Structure 1
Amino acid sequence: METNLRILILEDCIDDVELIQHQLKKSDFSFSCRVVETREDYEKSLAEYKPDVILSDHSLPMFDSMLALQMFHSYKKIFHPAAVFILVTGTVSEEFAVQIMRNGADDYILKDRLKRLPAAVLNAWEKNRSKYQQLKVQEEKLYLFDILQKSLHEIYLIHPENFQILYANEEALKNLGYNLEELQSMTPGNIMDSFNEESFRHVVQLAQERNKGLLLERKAVRKDGSTYPIQVHLEVIGKGRKKRILANVLDITEAKELEAQNRLAEFIQDSFRYERGLEKSLKVVLQELCKFCSWIASEIYAKEFDQLKFLGSYNPFLSHDRSILGYDISSKVYQTKLLQKISIPAKDEIVKNEEWLETGKIRTVVAIPIELGGEIIAVVVGYLKKDKTGQKRFSVLSDDVRKTLGENIKRKKTEEELQKIFDFSPDVLMVLGKDGYVRKVNPTLHKILGYSSEEFLSTPFESFLHPEDLPLVEEWRNKPLKKDDVAHYESRWKTKNGDYKWFSWSVTPYLRGELHFAVGRDITESKQQMDAIKDQNNKLAQIAWEQSHVVRAPLSRLLACVEYLEENGSAHDNILSSVKSSAYEIDKIIRNIIFKSEKVELNGKS
């Protein structure tokens, strides 16, 4: 045999050990052997050697077989359930032999009859091993049954012919609300919505033919009549009389809820993509939230500059914008940063103040904070006929839904604020494409040039430029601007009536240079003023030149006469001195005129 047994011999007589080993060697199984005689060595060998078979003498120094058997039971229970204990002794009474067998020994062999030892060892080993394997199988069955019972899935065994439910686990009983006896008198038709026996039989037949399970999606019907979505895995197991239909049922309420929440998040995202304002987008979203959460009406509020502001509503019962109650409950959300929910008694004071609550039979109001990055972006208020907490988690919106709504509200508000800056800016704001077309322009340019938006957007912007300024466009195209670069240009744009206006431009790229953002300012008046100043300076310079040259000609002659008189006589010294002084004074005045005219000309050039 292939059996290789580890045998531990507990014996203090070396002659008896040799006799035992001699008999074992005559057996048809292989073995290894260890011999001990003290309690300490015995206990150590149980832990280290882990024997399959223990052959123990009865009488040992300060130790006996009864104590060895007790220690064996602990070892067997923890480490080796199939281990064998056989008493091998000289003489014992019949009463003792019966007692030790009752205490759990597998057999006893007298030392004068050792020929029976190999057979006794092998028989006891095979018996214990078979018993252990059966026990193990039974434990595994109980373990698997326990798993089935405690499974989070609903498990059913169904008769393949009449479809009677034979077994249902704890989860099935809990979900459906029936006890096992009630279910065992039913078929799947009693617990499945829109059950068709012929269709079910066809599915079972397909599962059997394909030898694999089939998936179905249905609705389960509870004892109280409520339903919930399920995914059913059907499989045919066993053969003949033992053939059964195994139904593994998963409650997919949460999966369906998550799927619905994801669809809602996508709807919200799409609603904000259209070219509609924040208020219109929110009205569409609030209407969808009413469908999703079974609300009768809905409102949304947000804070701006520490003031609570109404953003929009969907309310078939109100002609005006908002209700007082929605404002108050939203304020509480901002104060507490928590979801708020109130139940309204039929004759509450609030109902009297707001008659539409009674018209809509509103009994529950919930306010949900829409947070983004720890900041409350808005508060959504929902109105219900009654508290539907047990039927639908009406006040719970998934993280994705709240995040999508918060992001889009924030983005739309930012866009509208930027649009106001864009529309009311005194400067020209324009988005230019590399293809030569204006993509977007604010009203300021319309006012200055007189063209409509359609004319700007449908005509290449080069058509509006003065011919002399076209090289600037080529320069802009041939020298791509890098991110954060700003280029400055001056150019003339043609007006609707044919005149030209001067603009100073600052241009910077975005979207990887595919588009350029341009800020322009009308500098036509400053250009005209500079031209007028230059013209005036030129005229002043001309006048100064003419005056200096006209006055200095007779002055030069006067000075020459004075010098002649000085050289040829001194009879009129006083008169000559006075004439000379006046001449030099006139010369100084002329020089000052020339200096000032030159300065005016220089300033004009600068």
Structure 2
Amino acid sequence: MLSLYLVLSYVNTIPMSATNSKVTTTNPLSGFYQFLNKSSDIAIVIDHKLTVLHKNPKAELRISGNKLQTFISPHHKKEFGLLLNKIIVKKIDTCPIRILFTDGIWYECQLTNLLDDNEVRGIVCIMREDVNNNHLSDEQPGTEQFYQTITDNIPSIIAYWTADLRCLFANKAYLSFFGKTENEMYNTRIDKLFTKEQISKHEHFMEEALKGLPQRFERTLEIEGKGDRIILTEYVPDVEDGHVMGFYTLIYDITDLKLQERELTLNNERELFNHKISTVFSKEESLNKVLSTILEKLIAYGDFLIAEIWLISVDKQSLALAAHFASTDIAESFYQNNKDFKIQIDGDGFIRNIWKTGSPQHLIDLDQHEPFLQKDIVQNVGLKSAYGVPLIDNTGAVLGAMMVGLNNNKEPDQQFIQLIEGISTHFAMEIVRKKLELELEQIFNYAPDIIATAGTDGFYKKINPALIKLLGFSEQELLNRHFISFIHPEDLDNTLYAFKEVIDGMALHYFENRLIKKDGTYIWVAWNVTPATESGLIFCVGKDITERKNSEQELITLNQKLEYQNKQLKDISWIQSHMVRAPVARILGIVNIIDSGTPLFNDELKEMLQFLKNSAQELDEVVGKITALSKNPEKE
């Protein structure tokens, strides 16, 4: 290309004094520019921003305005910018390139670096139309467009920044993420695109990348219309022959991933905390003590100033402060001086409204709320706001409210709300369980009947005081001996058979046996027993029926005696009706004969008297027998 040769020749003829002179602006009337004006090729001088500093007459006809980038095809603009950057950074004297203009015309172009020349201070671009127009056939067609298509369709956000922090490339994802257009981004310095505050947050990483050191870091950016986004950024240095040409920016929007990680972390923390709650609730302590312990852990976990639990009364007419915990002695002294807090549900109020609405409440500027029950604590401790949530069981009933006090008026974020509401839900379930546990414990301890759990190994695992009292053995004696040692020998076979049925999964709805007491006597017990669980536990309820069994035996003996006496009466009746009637009849017959006045001979009289005597004796024997039966029924 003759014009290039002439340019180089002209440059070599410039005196050293001229190239070292302190010229700060180009002079279109200088000899060099006059030389370019005589060229038959398109000749322009551009700076690193692709701003046209000078055009010869031929160029005036082809390029209007002073922005070369508006005439280069979008698919070659980036390639041209990258080559220009390479020339500047590596101080390359001259470099050829082919350029496609937006109207489809190809140009062979020779770039000459005269940025250090004080007369020119630019890059000379000599262009000649490629009449053969065979650029695409000589090389892979649309290489830049190919890579552009790829980068525009991957999820990563990609850009390229030169050593002087000009953007030469940004894919669609980058433009969309930052809300920029391609024209806004291309060949524009970073300080024109982003605020000083935005740049300062990652300026150090850019400086390190321009030293050839890869960078990887996370940051949070506030994107207009998108809010805060968490991004993972990588700066990959573009190093060529030891020169850092610039760096590639790879950005991944990891906001959703981070939110999921935070949610997972929050869930894990909440599950861990809930596990701690369950552990505390499992302790054999009063409900108020357990709640206070939990609130202490809640304050430590959430960095709150105070925490309170309010529970509704049985008649649902008032809410009582069931437990509290304060992080400072000053706050604690308030509670000690104001014990037995109780508020009626009528009217308005922070805790009342939580219970009535069954929804969370956030109250700010507590020191300005006259009706606030605990205004003293607000002033002394520095409380600014309170956040309260209802305690709702699995049936939807509101058991009360949980409140935490904070030292700021910030609106609770979603994580805070999820944390408190998640804890309160678990809290409510544990309160219900603890109340039920305490109620069952009361029943267990004070029930007059036997309540026990046993194992399939034949040993009691837990017994209530009733069994201890009934048998007279100590708790350890009952727990450490096999249950058959307490069974009456006559009932052992039936009991072992019933025990086997229970182990096999059968329930005993009623079963009687006798238990031996420590003093050697025994009691009768009626059992109801559940089938053995998978863990090998058997639940037993037994009732002392000794008095009933004794009464039953007495009734049986009495019935037997009455039956025997009835039999005796029947015998007496038979004797009276059969054995007494004959002698009486004979006596009455003799009496009638005598009474009739019939004359009797001595022999006849003697015979009648003998009959009378015999009948009297027979009657006397019968009477004696009846008397004997009446006096000694057991001997019969």
Task: Give 1:467 shift.
Answer: 2.0
Q: Distance in 2 between matches of 1:142 and 1:543?
A: 116
| In structure 2, C-alpha distance between the alignment counterparts of 1:557 and 1:138, rounded to whole Å | 138
1:419 Cα offset (Å)? 2.5
Select 1:182's aligned residue among 196, 199, 212: 196
Larger Rg: 2
Corresponding residue for 2:236?
236
CA positional deviation for 1:349:
3.1
Decide whether aligned partners of structure 1 residues 442 and 185 sit closer, same or farther in structure 2, where only a CA change above 3 A counts: closer
- Match status 1:534 vs 2:556: yes
1:516-559, Cα deviation, whole Å (9 max, x unpaired): 22221111112222233334445556666678778987997653
State the one-letter code of the partner of 1:447: K
Indicate the RMSD between aligned Cα atoms, in angstroms: 5.5
1:176-575 matched pairs, under 5 angstroms:
180-182=194-196, 186=200, 188=202, 232=232, 234=234, 236=236, 238-240=238-240, 241-242=244-245, 244=247, 246=249, 248=251, 250=254, 252=258, 255-256=261-262, 258-273=264-279, 274-277=282-285, 278-303=287-312, 304-307=314-317, 308-316=319-327, 317=332, 318-319=335-336, 328-346=349-367, 348-350=369-371, 354-371=375-392, 372=394, 374-389=396-411, 394-397=416-419, 400-480=422-502, 485-512=507-534, 514-539=536-561, 558-565=580-587, 570-571=592-593
Q: How far 1:457 sits from its partner (Å)? A: 2.3
TM-score by length of 1: 0.57
C-alpha deviation, 1:132, in angstroms: 9.8
Q: Distance in 1 between matches of 2:178 and 2:570?
A: 118
CA 550–370 in structure 1, closer or farther in 2 if over 3 Å, else same? closer
Question: Could you list the per-position Cα deviations for residues 410-430 of structure 1 after superposition, in whole angstroms to 9, with x for gaps in the alignment?
Answer: 322332233333333332222
- Determine if contact 1:486/1:507 at 8 Å carries over to the other structure: yes
Q: Deviations over 1:168-221 (max 9, x none)?
A: 989799xxxx982526864758699xxxx89xx99x67x9xxxxxx8x7x7879
Answer whether contact 2:235 2:250 (CA < 8 A) is retained: yes
Distance 1:497 1:407, change over 3 A: same
Structure 2 CA distance for aligned equivalents of residues 287 and 447 of structure 1: 40
For the Cα contact (< 8 Å) 1:299–1:322, is it kept in 2?
no
Tell me, in whole angstroms, the C-alpha distance in 1 between the residues paired with 2:344 and 2:299. Answer: 15
Contact kept? 1:481, 1:508, Cα under 8 Å: no
Output one character per residue of 1:385-436: Cα deviation in whole Å (capped at 9) or x when no partner.
2213378854442765444333333322332233333333332222221110
Matched residue SS, 2:469: helix
Shift of 1:364: 0.8
Displacement, 1:363? 1.9
Instruction: Identify if the C-alpha distance between structure 1 residues 160 and 422 changes in structure 2 by more than 3 Å, giving closer, same or farther.
Output: farther
C-alpha separation in 2, matches of 1:326 and 1:568: 106
State whether residues 495 and 513 of structure 2, in contact with CA within 8 Å, keep that contact through their aligned partners in structure 1: no
Q: 1:184 to 1:221 in 2, by over 3 A?
A: closer
* TM-score (normalised: structure 2): 0.54
User: What amino acid sits opposite 1:259 in the alignment?
Assistant: T
Matched residue, 1:66: none
What 5-or-longer segments of structure 1 have no aligned partner? 1-103, 107-122, 208-213, 223-227, 599-606
Structure 1 185/341 Cα, relative in aligned 2: closer, same or farther at 3 Å? closer
Q: Report the CA distance between 1:452 and its aligned residue.
A: 3.4
Q: In 2, distance between residues paired with 1:170 and 1:508?
A: 68
Would the aligned equivalents of 2:526 and 2:545 in 1 still touch at CA under 8 Å?
A: yes
Q: Decide whether aligned partners of structure 1 residues 381 and 535 sit closer, same or farther in structure 2, where only a CA change above 3 A counts.
A: same
Q: Judge conservation of contact 1:429–1:441 (CA < 8 Å) in 2.
A: yes
Aligned with 1:349: secondary structure? coil
- TM-aligned CA deviation for residue 438 of structure 1: 1.2
| Contact kept? 1:507, 1:516, Cα under 8 Å | yes
Q: Is the 8 A contact 2:452 2:540 kept in 1?
A: yes
Query: SS in structure 1 opposite 2:530?
Result: strand
Tell me, in whole angstroms, the C-alpha distance in 2 between the residues paired with 1:280 and 1:341: 27
Percent of residue pairs bearing the same amino acid type? 21
Offset, 1:243: 5.9
1:480/1:513 contact within 8 Å kept: no
Ranges in structure 2 where 5+ consecutive residues have no aligned partner: 1-102, 106-131, 180-191, 223-227, 597-611
Matched to 1:286, the amino acid is: L
Q: Report if the CA contact (8 A) 1:437-1:457 is conserved.
A: yes
Aligned length: 439
1:486/1:480 CA distance change after superposition, 3 Å: closer
